Structures are given as structure tokens and as C-alpha cells.
Chains A and B, each alone.
Chain A
């Protein structure tokens, strides 16, 4: 059942259109990650939901009631800000107690509740400190605690891990789902980090160009993007995009022909290829630049030059160059990468045909229809 809904919401500042008829529906208890490039209006979206700004057009409903122009204090929501926005003249305790006081809770109950939240977020020992005496991570937890303390019906998190260091971000990425589950609240989480979006969202809403381009489960968006822009945004390293041509039930790209799994109208198209769908093998026999069609398991071999190998976490990213100079990224496990002989330039790239994603020239997804 829809708990929060935005209907055709628009917002511009001067001549800058930030949101253009954006619509979104979120279910009760769900965690939705709003994901998009910087400056796409993610923060503005949260501010509209929180009541800090009002939309120029469109409606916002929470639990069936319209809140479009309601004052922030009347919305019963919690929000954690990117820059924490802690009250510098109040202790961490008073910061977290603030929404409880505003709701008229009694002193003893407030104390009990703040202690509880402090324990949960592991800041119990610094509750009597002023924000300036807290570390960045503690500030971040305090701001989270303040947003959660009153058990708001809706929790807005504006890129809360942006301003903490990598180690903390990693810790919180694991810890946050547990904390959010403990409160069983509906969450909107804004980030521009694709890994956070993958790790935290029940669903991910991709916000680009003033509107939502795709709203789905993280793995679905990754596997089945609706547009080339979404495909590009989702994934690290980014997806390879090559020009192709559809003809006679097959697609031609990079000088290879792949049979199509279904029907697509003939003509030029663009093809996206995830780096992990390219497998590289040593190629001792064919040192030439002729395409090699291995053909087993739907993989097609392509003679390429291996330009560079860069380790990235547990994987390695390889930069491949085709005969006509096109660059491709591919990934493999670090073990495999170490087995690649140094200085060996000529390898074969095997492309998994089933993983190809097709788009038209404008970047809209083309899905093969079953024959």
C-alpha cells in the first residue's frame, strides 16, 4: 500500500528546472534509495517532502493525507542532513532529545529514549559532549539518532555518509540496515554512491534530468536498465557502450555477429556490455588481429590488446583495445589478473552474448520480443 506519494512534482529555482513532473510512490516500511548524479535534484526532493521548500506544481501525500504545503513541524518526519546540521549549542543528548521535547514527552521518558538510541548507535559514552567535541563519525550518528529518536513515520536521509571517511562509510553501510530495521520506519535514502544504493535499498529510484528514470530493485536495475543513462550510472567500473547493427535476427558489433534471443527491428543500435561479461583468455595461437569465433557457451572471442590492469578491491579492471582502437573495460578476479603474464599484450576477449543490452540511438532500451 502506498504510504508516500509524489504526483507530478515540479520545482525550479529561477530559470533552473530541478524537478520536472517527478512522480514516486513508496510503500509503508520500505527503504527506497534515491540515486542519481550530483545536482540532479535529490536533495531538493527531500526538502520538498520535509516541507523546507514548497513545490511549484504537483502534490505530495503522506498516509493518504495531502501535505504539499504543510509546515515541516506538522509532518512528523525525521531527517538527517548531509552536513549533519547539529545544534552547536546543545549537547549530543539534547540534540537527540530535541524531537522528543517538541512532541511534549516527559523528561524521564526522554532520558530513557535518548539513552536507548545512543546505545543502539554506539554513542552512549559521548552524549554529554557538544557537537564540536565529537568526531565526524559521532556527529553523523548523533544526527541519525536525532532523526530516528521520535520514531517518525517517515525518515529522510540526505547522503548521510557523504562526509565521513571511507572506513566509517563502510561500517555504516553494513550497520545502517540493522538500525533502520529496528525502527521499522519508511525510509528515503539519497545517495550518489552506487554501492550504497545497492547495499541499502529495497528499491532504488534513479533520478535524472528532473524525473525518475527507473524505480526497481537494485539488482533488476543493474541487470535490466530501462535506458542507457541508467545503465551507465549503475555499475563500477561503468558499462561499455559500442555501436551495433541489427539485421537478420542477429546483431553485429565489434566485427562479431551474435544471434538475437528474440525479435528486434533491423537498424543501427547501441549495445551496452557489462565489464564482467567480458572474459579474457591468453591467446597463444592467433596472434593476429582477426576476430576469433570460439562459439562455445554463446561466447564470442575477439582478439584485443591488453593495455592495463588495475586492481579494484577484490577484482581487477582491465583496459582492452580492439583492432580499430575502441577501448573496452573488463573485470576479473584478482587471482586471475595475477595469472596474466606481464607484458603480454595480445589476448582474446570473450563476450557473453546473453548479457548484451540493446538501446536505440536515443538511449531507450530495446527489448527483444520472443519469436
Chain B
């Protein structure tokens, strides 16, 4: 039956089929094109960052090597941007790590209530950060905002939230915390639940105090998860745009001018393409270093998870 057809085709069995070599490249071609699509504008951005390039003054355009960078590093407003970005990153990641770990520990046991709770707590993470900011704008409105009303009950009658320089950072950090703590929580919870049980059972048999168990067993074993989650959040926080832009567009004044908001305004308000690109390149260097560390850490964790499965 089919045997005949097959032996008929066997004449080409002596040659290495070309298709076998080409197939992997063929399959990944579209993804490759998308890759090139990213790399070209990336190269363009690097190119712009070394040009005097302001859309308002097209005649002055020209190649100026690293002058944009030198000017940036001499400009106090750039260092203000660096400072605000780092503060934002530090506070968001710090608060979210502690809060996320705390919640994960509270929900560690697999009870129905805990499982439902952990799903519900994920909801803020599913809301677009820009939309989340709008929600908080409604709640912190000085005229009718429910949060303004509540803090008013505690004596803060003129609490201005994001519109006052003194509380603006606090407000956006809180929104960021509201959106992204669930991410920390869910990763650390999965980490906690994946820990081997024997050390804990042994500690319980020995009557070791809970604080000792936490600091000497839980925390060290959870560290890879904590590092992965923290690095991931750092990568996102240092380039936060949506929340701050939707909340205050970098204001009041220049209070919240983080990297990407500064670059955006530089480009669209002051039409200074060269300077905007230089700011973004500086940010890219930071994220590149961070992401390399993160990817290594993540791959290690991934290997481990797949080893378990």
C-alpha cells in the first residue's frame, strides 16, 4: 500500500534536505523583522542624542558629538530628574516589597478565604496605571474626594495630595503602590508556597521560635523570589510614566519630573529632540544594566521552576 509511494520517494534519501536547515530561520523570520523594527528606531534615537536638533530651529540642526550629554550633566534640572526618579524608585520598590511580603505571609496558608483574597487583591494590577491615576484623582479631589474627606476627619483639612509639592511624591508613590503591590504579593506568595516543607516541619518539632524561623529559614529561601520581583519592579519604577503623567504631568512645578516625563515634555513642549533623546539614552543605560542583572536572575528562577515541574 503506502509502502510503494514511500520507497518511490526514497531516491532523494541520499541528499541532505535543504528544508531541514532553513526551517528554524523561516519560523522565526517574522519575530526577527519585529526585532529589526525595534533596533532601527533605537539606533536613530542614539543618533539624535548626538545632534543639535530642535524642531523649532530646524536650521541649527547638526552633529555635535556628546555635547547634549555634557550639557545635561552640567544642568541642575537634569540632576533633579535623576534624584526624583531614584527617590520614586526607592520608595515604590521599598514600600511594595515590605507590603507585598507582609500580605503574602498573611495569605500563605491555602485556605479558601486566602485564595479568594489573593485573587481579589490582584485586581488593581489589572487596571491600567493611567486609569488608576484617574480613579485616585477622583478620590483626592479637594471638593468632593472621599479621601480628602477622610483625612479631613483626622484634622488634615487642607490636604492637597498631588497638587502640593510637599505631598505630590507621596501621592504618586501611593498610587504606584496600589497598582503594583499585588505583583510583589503574587510572586512572593507563589514563592512561599513553593518552598520545601521539611525545614519548617523540623523547626516546629524542635519548638524553634517563629521569628527565628522567619529570619533564618523563610527569608533566605525566599531571597531569589524577592530579588527577582524587586529587580523587575525597579526596572518599571525608574521609567514610570503613565501614573505621573496622568496625575500631574510632572508637576506641580517640576516636583515629579522623572526621566520619561522630562523626556516627553522636552520633545513635545520644547521640541528639543536631541536633548530628549540624550535623556532617554541615559535612562536606557540604567535600565540596560538593571535588565541584564534581572534577566540572569529570572532565568535562574525559571530553570528552577521548570526543574520542579
Q: Which of B2, B9, B10 is most buried by chain A, counting CB atoms within 10 A of its CB?
A: B10
Tell me, in angstroms, the Cα distance from A75 to B3 when the chains sit together: 9
Interface residues of chain A: helix, strand, loop or mixed (majority): loop
Q: A65-B10, A75-B6 known; A103 and B1 CB under 8 Å? A: yes
A69–B6 Cα distance when bound, in Å, is 14
Whether, in the assembled complex, A74 has its beta carbon less than 8 Å from a beta carbon of chain B, the answer is: yes
In the complex, the answer to whether A65 meets B17 with C-beta atoms within 8 Å is no
Interface residues in A66-115 (C-beta closer than 8 Å to B) = 66-71, 74-76, 103-104
Chain B residues whose CB sits within 8 angstroms of the CB of A226 once the complex forms: none
Residue of B nearest to A103 (CB): B2
For window 1-46 of chain B, which residues contact chain A by CB distance below 8 Å? Answer: 1-3, 6-7, 9-17, 20
Contact of A153 with B by CB under 8 A: yes
**A196 proximity list for chain B (CB < 8 A):** none
Inter-chain CA distance A54–B2, complex, in Å, is 24
A153 to B7, CA, bound (A): 11
Pair A66/B14 contact, Cβ less than 8 Å: yes
Within 8 A of B (CB), among A42-60: 54, 59
Find out whether the CB atom of B12 lies under 8 angstroms from the CB atom of A70.
Answer: yes
Chain B residues with CB below 8 A from A68, complex form: 13-14
The answer on a CB contact under 8 Å between A70 and B2 is: no
Residue contact B14 to A76, C-beta cutoff 8 Å: no
Cβ of A66 and Cβ of B17 under 8 Å apart? no
Q: Smallest distance from the beta carbon of A147 to chain B beta carbons, Å?
A: 16
Q: Please name all residues of chain B whose beta carbon is closer than 8 Å to the beta carbon of A76 when the two chains form the complex.
A: 2-3, 6-7
**Complex: A336 Cα to B20 Cα, angstroms:** 63
B2 nearest in chain A by CB position: A103
Q: Please, how many angstroms separate the alpha-carbon atoms of A102 and B14 in the complex?
A: 24
A62 to B7, CA, bound (A): 9
Q: In whole angstroms, how far apart are the Cα atoms of A54 and B9 in the complex?
A: 17
Q: Note all chain B residues with C-beta closer than 8 A to A150.
A: 2
Grouping DSSP codes into helix (H, G, I), strand (E, B) and loop, the B interface class, with mixed when no group exceeds half, is helix
- Chain A residues near B11: list those with CB within 8 A: 65-66
What band does the interface of chain B fall in when counting residues whose beta carbon is under 8 Å from A?
A: 10 to 19
**Contact at A67–B1, with CB atoms within 8 Å?**
no
Of the listed residues B1, B7, B13, B20, the one surrounded by the most CB atoms of chain A closer than 10 A to its CB is B13
B16 touches A66 (CB 8 A): no
Cα of A26 to Cα of B20 in the assembled complex, Å: 28
Distance of A66 Cα from B10 Cα, bound (Å): 6
Contacts of B9 in A (CB 8 A): 70, 74
Contacts of B17 in A (CB 8 A): 69, 71
CB pair A69–B13 under 8 Å, yes or no, is yes
- Say how far A42's CB is from chain B's closest CB, in angstroms: 23
Among A59, A74, A75, the one with the most B-chain Cβ atoms within 10 Å of its Cβ is: A74
- Residues A66 and B2 in contact, CB atoms below 8 Å apart: no
Tell me whether A67 and B15 are in contact (CB under 8 A). Answer: no
Task: State which residues 118-136 of A face B: CB under 8 Å.
Answer: none
Q: A66 is contacted by which of B1, B3, B13 (Cβ under 8 Å)?
A: B13
**Contact residues in B for A153 (Cβ distance below 8 Å):** 3
Chain A residues lying within 8 Å of B12, measured Cβ to Cβ, are 69-70
Q: How far does the alpha carbon of A114 sit from the alpha carbon of B13 in the complex, in Å?
A: 31
Tell which of A59, A65, A71, A104 touches B7, judged by Cβ atoms closer than 8 Å.
Answer: A65
State whether the Cβ of A174 lies closer than 8 Å to any Cβ in chain B.
no
Question: Nearest Cβ distance between residue B8 and chain A, in whole angstroms?
Answer: 9
CA distance A126 to B10 in the complex (A): 37
Q: Give Cα A75–Cα B10 distance, bound, in whole angstroms.
A: 8
Docked Cα-Cα span, A103 to B15, in Å, equals 24
Nearest opposing residue in chain B for A102, CB measure: B2
Known contacts A103-B1, A103-B2: A69-B16 contact under CB 8 Å = yes
Residues of A within 8 A of B13 (CB): 65-70, 74
A63 at the interface (CB under 8 A from B): yes
Separation in Å of the A328 CB from the closest CB of chain B?
46
**Complexed CA–CA distance, A65 and B10 (Å):** 6
Chain B residues whose C-beta falls within 8 Å of the C-beta of A59 in the assembled complex: 14
Q: How far is the CA of A293 from the CA of B75 in the complex (A)?
A: 106
- Among A70, A103, A104, A153, max chain B CB count under 10 A is at A70
- 247-272 of chain B: CB within 8 A of chain A: none
Closest to B11 in A: A65
The distance in angstroms between the C-alpha atoms of A65 and B17, with both chains bound, is 16
Cross-chain contact B14 with A69 (CB below 8 angstroms)? yes
Report Cα–Cα, A106/B17, bound state, in Å. Answer: 31
Considering the chains assembled together, what is the distance between the CA atoms of A153 and B16 in angstroms? 23
B151 smallest CB distance to A (angstroms): 57
CB-CB < 8 A to B16: which residues of A? 54, 69
Select A74's contact among B1, B6, B14, B20, beta carbons within 8 Å.
B6
Bound Cα distance A350, B15 (Å): 60
User: Which residues of chain A in 193-228 are interfacial with respect to chain B, using CB atoms and an 8 Å cutoff?
Assistant: none
Given contacts A54-B16, A75-B6, 6 further A-B contacts (CB under 8 A): A62-B10, A63-B7, A69-B17, A71-B20, A74-B9, A76-B2
B residues touching A (Cβ–Cβ < 8 Å)?
1-3, 6-7, 9-17, 20
Report 13 cross-chain contacts, Cβ distance below 8 Å, ordered by A residue: A54-B20, A63-B7, A65-B7, A65-B13, A66-B14, A68-B13, A68-B14, A69-B15, A70-B12, A70-B13, A74-B13, A76-B7, A103-B2
9 nearest interchain CB pairs?
A: A65-B10, A70-B13, A67-B13, A66-B14, A103-B2, A66-B13, A76-B6, A69-B16, A74-B9
